[in-house]
Amino acid sequence: MTAPVPQRIIHVGLAGLGNVGAGVHKNLEKNRDLIRQRTGADIRVKRVVVRDPTRARDVQLPEEVLGTDWHALVEDPEIQVIVELIGGTTTAHELVCAALRAKKIVVTGNKALLAERGQELFALAEQCGVPIYFEAAVAGGIPIIQVLQEGLVGNRILSIHGIINGTCNYILTRMSQAGLSYADALREAQEKGYAEADPTLDVSGWDAAHKAIILASLSYGFWIPQDKVHVEGVEHIDPADFRFAQQLGYTIKLLSVIRADDKGLVEVRTQPALVPLSHVLASVSGSFNAVLVNGDIVGETLFYGRGAGQDPTSSSVISDLCEAAAVLVYGARHSGFVPHGLYGRSKPVEDTVSHYYLRLTVDDVPGVMAQVAAVLGRRQIGISSMIQPEDLEDTSGRTTIVLMIHDASLGAMQAALEEIGALACVREKPSWMRVETLQG
């Protein structure tokens, strides 16, 4: 009979006991024996710090475990791993820096902190010789960080297309499937707990953009500056756009696109986009996330699951805790981000190229299409198809035309849109989106 593996106790300091923090504590206790057998470590939460210790919570902790000063986690010599789940980028930054300098491993789910200050934090981690783990920062329970760091480490990443914000995906799913307006879909998402009372970070596209920065930086070996990332939200999408998209064989998703061109320039953008109904990403509905990774050796791989919520996100935090335990028991590994010089430059967003969808409300008079086509033609932008719905009972003197546009740079398209919007025959601000072919 094989002798039992000796167990090593790993003491953890937990900063934040909100939804995810409570899930981490609860699920660590629930699967303690399983984790102990798999890792050779007994992972125990020794101290927890919160903003308000009197607040009712899902988990009950002894009074001596709970505190309000995060410095206590850093200063406790028995604590080897600090889990940062407080959010924000100020106090969290101070805590993470102090933990690294104290030679304590950091686990965080803070995508905004990593997107804004990741380069600095990983440099500090390398200097201090301790890693940062951050699986929970992107796509909830989907282990996409580990995939890029380990599973696909031998691949050049050709592209990543991700639906990585559950709030927006729920809103767009309800607009598509139930014909709801944006406002009604958002209200429903808030009632069901999929959207915050202040949903700005989600619906503006920036929550997904922060995650895209992390994925792109891991894939291409340099930290992507936020000002080089193109971000658009879902606030201005109209139910009419879903109807026309359906006629054209598409649906609408908030899509994060990451890819390098043949010169090594990396584009990172998040925006609503038309996705072919025939593609698997079109069927990702509700609050679910999906990430499609195209590697030069492996080809296309799809990762799908819940992108938020107590249990999925706490699963990722616990996975990182087990990785941290393995480092402490069996030996060290890299800081969490390995820079290299194969890429190193962001592609100017105006140079990024795609197809486009364009919806115009115009005067119902002869010559309108000629004016629009002339504007596009002067910039060498071609039209691939057109829809003009016929409504014989409409006496408003206006009509809608929908154009599908051939490949064009964003800079050329934006210049054309500005000129088209200024035409006397165009009665409303043009509605437009990218069309993603999802071919690499």
Structural domains of the chain sorted by starting position, each given as residue range(s) with its CATH number in brackets: 8-140+311-330 (3.40.50.720), 144-308 (3.30.360.10), 350-435 (3.30.70.260)
pTM, two decimal places: 0.90
Angle 260-305-245 from CA coordinates, rounded to 5°: 65
For residues 139 and 303, the answer to whether their CB atoms sit within 8 Å is: yes
Q: Is 29 helix (H, G, I), strand (E, B) or coil?
A: helix
| Of 291, 437, 292, residue with least CA distance to 354 | 437
For residues 371 and 425, the answer to whether their CB atoms sit within 8 Å is: yes
Angle 311-313-315 from CA coordinates, rounded to 5°: 65
Structural element, H or E, at residue 122: helix 111-128
**What is the side-by-side order of every strand in the sheet holding 8-15?**
66-67, 41-49, 8-15, 79-84, 105-108, 132-133
The C-alpha atoms of residue 307 and residue 88 are separated, in whole angstroms, by: 19
Q: What is the pLDDT along the chain (440 residues), one digit of tens a residue?
A: 344 444 689 999 999 998 899 999 999 999 999 999 888 899 999 999 998 887 878 788 888 889 999 999 999 999 999 999 999 999 999 999 999 999 999 999 999 999 999 999 999 999 999 999 999 999 888 999 999 988 999 999 999 999 999 999 999 999 999 999 999 999 999 998 888 889 999 999 999 999 999 999 999 999 899 999 999 999 999 999 999 999 999 999 999 999 999 888 999 999 999 999 999 999 999 999 999 999 999 999 999 998 888 888 999 999 999 999 988 988 766 667 767 777 878 999 999 999 999 999 999 999 999 999 999 999 999 999 999 887 656 667 889 999 999 999 999 999 999 999 999 999 999 999 999 988 65
The C-alpha atoms of residue 136 and residue 321 are separated, in whole angstroms, by: 11
Q: Which residues have a catalytic role annotated?
A: 211
